[in-house]
Amino acid sequence: MDAVRLGIVGVGGIGSAHFNCVGGGRIAEMKLGAVCDIDPKRLEYCRSVIGDIPCFGDYREMFKSGLIDAALISVPHPLHAKIAIEALGAGLNVLTEKPEDITVSAAERLNDAAKKSGLVFGIMFNQRTNPLFARARELVRAGEIGEIKRSVWIITNWYRTQHYYDTGGWRATWSGEGGGVLLNQAPHNLDLWQWICGMPSEITAFCDEGKWHNIEVEDDATIFARYPNGGTGVFITSTGDCPGTNCLEITGTRGTVIVEKGRLTLKRLAEDERELCFKSSESMPSARPEIEIFEPKEQETAHAGILQNFANAILHGEELLAPGYEGINQLMLTNAAYLSQWTKKPVSLPIDSGLYDRLLREKQEESESKHGGDKQTHKTYSERWQVRF
């Protein structure tokens, strides 16, 4: 294979942006093999850009066409695992959009299928390409701030209006989407939170449904996390704050990392606070941390960076920045938060996925299906999908 031939399943909002990126030759050693959408208007759009692009109305036909080596799944999230499993079964490498699906159990099925296939399986967690979060991870992993005591992320700049929800056909219902801000917008941040700080062992959450909008699912959430080492974390997100905030602060025994306003600040202590606390003869010593500021010169490579990494993994065995298998961690956090809200209790991780699936089905049975039209206006990568501070 000298270039990966990509087939895109779902050329709506983000799918059309991927279509224009790959079709426009922005990814080395990757080209468009075919596209698929159940909406003929989307296929018409694709033909208006690339006259001879092979188009399919059924992804199964595209999978067995022999025209593609890899499938990019950019359909509504409840379809991700099902379609990805069929793509792997057809011998295709898979890159799925985030979230991996809507439940931990679906992610488990997909991870099993991917493992058995031995094919390349990635997930579009494009914010992992942001140099600030990569640096935060490096510092934490290298023990530069010691043992983590606490992390706090206020990520409330995912503002959406009622118009957004009214015009997004499958969005914001339990039956259509399967969740709200914790499943649609904040998965990027939940993934980064666990990528940098690791997975908690227990979660308690308040997920307020329809707090700021006329929608069924949550548009405001606060998660309290407890980690295996006794550390704690708080994660706050909303689509109702304007302009909102994006600030991550991680406190360790040897220092603090703060990511905000497009820069990372490292406050490094001369000695571990746990030693200082018990050795010092002063009651309130003034710790004078060494301050390092990191302002990256390079931008995140975002979606194109994940696509390039996926092509390189298939052709040259490059390590994936966002392996598909890791999508389950974000779903574990999202599902645990919902379970805590629904049961009004703290939830231990890993969650009881049988219980989760049953309670979700109950919500879906009561869910009102929506008939708003799909907007699908995005045909190139939008800034709103990149990290904003």
Ligand X SMILES: NC(=O)c1ccc[n+]([C@@H]2O[C@H](COP(=O)([O-])OP(=O)(O)OC[C@H]3O[C@@H](n4cnc5c(N)ncnc54)[C@H](O)[C@@H]3O)[C@@H](O)[C@H]2O)c1
Nearer to ligand X, 292 or 374 (CB): 374
When CB distances to ligand X are compared, the closest residue is: 12
Site residues for ligand X per CB under 6 A: 9-15, 36-39, 42, 59, 74-77, 79, 97-98, 124, 126, 184, 374, 376, 385
CA-to-CA separations, 282 to 164, 278, 279, in angstroms, rounded: 56, 10, 9
Coil, helix or strand for 336? Answer: helix
Beta carbon of residue 124, minimum distance to ligand X (angstroms, whole number): 4
Nearer to ligand X, 22 or 79 (CB): 79
Q: What share of the chain is helix, strand, coil (3-state, %, to 5)?
A: 35, 20, 40
Beta carbon of residue 91, minimum distance to ligand X (angstroms, whole number): 19
CB 153 within 8 A of CB 189: yes
Question: E strand or H helix at 15, and its extent?
Answer: helix 13-23
Nearer to ligand X, 113 or 183 (CB): 183
Question: E strand or H helix at 59, and its extent?
Answer: helix 59-63
Extended beta strands in the chain, E state = 4-9, 30-36, 55-56, 70-73, 93-96, 121-123, 148-155, 202-209, 218-226, 232-238, 246-252, 255-260, 263-268, 290-294, 347-348
Beta carbon of residue 314, minimum distance to ligand X (angstroms, whole number): 19
Q: What span, in angstroms and rounded, lies between the C-alpha atoms of 112 and 109?
A: 5
Beta carbon of residue 207, minimum distance to ligand X (angstroms, whole number): 18
Beta carbon of residue 161, minimum distance to ligand X (angstroms, whole number): 16
Q: What span, in angstroms and rounded, lies between the C-alpha atoms of 67 and 295?
A: 43
Beta carbon of residue 268, minimum distance to ligand X (angstroms, whole number): 33
Nearer to ligand X, 17 or 145 (CB): 17
Nearer to ligand X, 16 or 253 (CB): 16
DSSP 378: -
Beta carbon of residue 101, minimum distance to ligand X (angstroms, whole number): 9
Give the tokens for residue 185: 């917008």
Nearer to ligand X, 74 or 239 (CB): 74
Nearer to ligand X, 12 or 252 (CB): 12
Coil, helix or strand for 225? Answer: strand
